[in-house]
């Protein structure tokens, strides 16, 4: 499989990390997957901090952005150019929130390949237990009550992370953040249970990270459009041309 071949170095790395936590640290296989999740989140923490800064900047400049959108609402191309220039001028990356998620996807796919690999299954079965709380086998798809519990936990943790991350987001962006957990939930059925543990763990990390940031570094107060206009100096009057004698 092409994807497996491309991700083979990452699959081997995930195998090494999980095995280390299980064999050397003494964690169960389930908690070893949780430890892999947290190790991944620590590794991309600098990018997560950059994401938070960009989100804060978007919040702080929200009135100016709305004013630009309103000013050029009849000219979408001009509106896009002005927004890009505004982002560059104020060092805002509107796509920063996507970067941590994108960086986690290769680890997610690597873990998927690992859990479906017969060698890793044999390794886990040779050193039981392979169960984790209510999950009977981390390498197999969850069924029955375990599947229902995983779906509920996935939706709750994803909604919690989305609620904290959404902050003061409005309109379509806020709607998407709260709809996505329900859109992704059916995919949990098709994955080995260990992958659901990974995603629930990363949701819990995101929720905790956002709560810590919000507590210690509260978001800036966002002025209204009227307040921005009130503090913006009026444009300079045009110079009068001197009459030639």
Q: At what angle do helices 29-43 and 99-116 cross, to 10 degrees?
A: 150
pLDDT beyond 70 at 175: no
pLDDT(168) > 90: no
Q: What proportion of the chain, given as a percentage, has pLDDT over 70?
A: 77
Cβ-Cβ contacts under 8 Å for 68 (sequence gap 6 or more): 79, 82, 83, 86
Region of 133 on the Ramachandran plot (φ > 0 left; ψ -120 to 50 alpha; else beta): left
Q: Encoding tokens for residue 118?
A: 């017969």
> pLDDT for 10-37, tens place per residue?
889 999 999 999 999 999 999 999 999 9
Q: How many residues does the chain have?
A: 245
pLDDT, position 24: 92
Note the pLDDT of residue 197: 93
Lowest mean pLDDT among 59-68, 79-88, 216-225, 233-242: 233-242
Neighbours of 233 (CB within 10 A): 5
CB half-sphere exposure, 111, CA atoms < 13 A: 29
Looking at 22-31, 33-42, 206-215, which range is the least confident one?
206-215
Nearest to 41 by CA among 157, 202, 208, 203: 202
If phi > 0 it is left, if psi is from -120 to 50 it is alpha, else beta; for residue 241 that is beta
Asked if pLDDT for residue 237 goes beyond 60, the answer is no
Q: pLDDT per residue over 48-104, tens digit each?
A: 777 777 777 777 777 888 888 888 888 888 888 888 888 888 777 766 666 777 778
pLDDT at 226: 59
Q: Higher pLDDT residue, 183 or 143? A: 143
In the beta sheet, which residues pair with residue 110? none
Please write the tens of the pLDDT for every residue from 98-141.
677 777 888 888 998 999 888 888 888 887 777 888 888 898 88
Inter-residue contact 225 to 171 (CB < 8 Å): no
**pLDDT tens sequence across 178-201:** 676 777 777 777 889 999 999 899
SS3 227: helix
């Amino acid at each position: 499989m092409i994807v497996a071949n491309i991700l083979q170095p990452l699959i081997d790395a995930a195998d090494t990390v999980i095995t280390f936590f299980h064999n050397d640290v003494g964690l169960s296989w389930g908690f070893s997957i949780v430890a892999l999740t947290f190790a991944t989140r620590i590794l991309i923490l600098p990018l997560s901090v950059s994401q938070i800064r960009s989100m804060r900047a978007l919040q702080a400049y929200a009135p100016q952005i709305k004013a630009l959108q309103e000013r050029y609402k009849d000219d979408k191309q001009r509106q896009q150019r002005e927004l890009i220039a505004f982002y560059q001028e104020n060092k805002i990356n509107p796509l920063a929130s996507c970067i941590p998620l994108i960086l986690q996807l290769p680890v997610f796919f690597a873990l998927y390949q690992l859990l479906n690999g017969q060698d890793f299954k044999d390794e886990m079965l040779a050193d039981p237990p392979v169960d984790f709380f209510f999950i009977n086998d981390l390498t197999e798809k969850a069924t029955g009550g375990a599947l229902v519990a995983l779906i509920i936990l996935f939706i709750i943790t994803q909604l919690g992370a989305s609620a904290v991350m959404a902050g003061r987001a409005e309109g379509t962006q806020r709607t998407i953040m709260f709809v996505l957990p329900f859109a992704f939930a059916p995919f949990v059925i098709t994955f080995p249970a260990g992958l659901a543990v990974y995603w629930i763990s990363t949701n819990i990390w995101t929720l905790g990270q956002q709560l810590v940031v919000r507590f210690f570094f509260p978001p800036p107060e966002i002025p209204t459009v009227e307040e921005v206009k009130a503090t913006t100096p009026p444009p300079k009057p045009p110079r009068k041309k001197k009459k030639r004698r």
